[in-house]
Structure 1
Amino acid sequence: MIIGIVRHFKVDCKLKKIMSSDDFEKYNLNSDENVLIVSHGFFLITLINELKLLGFKGNIPKKMKNGYLYILKNY
């Protein structure tokens, strides 16, 4: 399960949780919308590795900084 993933749906900042990694993959692999993931370092490293296996690319350093936005794109 992916925990802590939220999707920004409207300008009024309503947020909705995505229930599982399968839902995330099905909905977002073919979507042009952005997803914000807020979590702890170990989970982010694990998630980034899984997303890279699915074809996402981005310049993520091995030692991530707190409060910094990292971007992965699906090509």
Structure 2
Amino acid sequence: MADKQVADLTLEELKGLIAQVVDQRLRHEQQPQRPVDKEALKKTLESIDSHMWTPPPGAPSTLEMLREDRGR
């Protein structure tokens, strides 16, 4: 059946092909997900928070820097 074009399939072959594709997609979607390691996630988020940089007061915004750069 792999050699045939869709137009050459019988109705039963087409239904079988559709069922096969649907089954594959359902199996793919229903794969068990790894459980989330909440402690590792918490450490990662804390690391992001502690390494976040805040510009000093009066520093130009990213929009202002883009406009200045485009003006050159």
* TM category, shorter: under 0.3
> Radius of gyration: which is bigger?
2
Structure holding more helix per residue = 2
Return the TM-score normalized by structure 1.
0.21
Structure holding more strand per residue = 1
Return the TM-score normalized by structure 2.
0.22
Greater RCO, 1 or 2 (C-alpha within 8 Å, sep 6+):
1
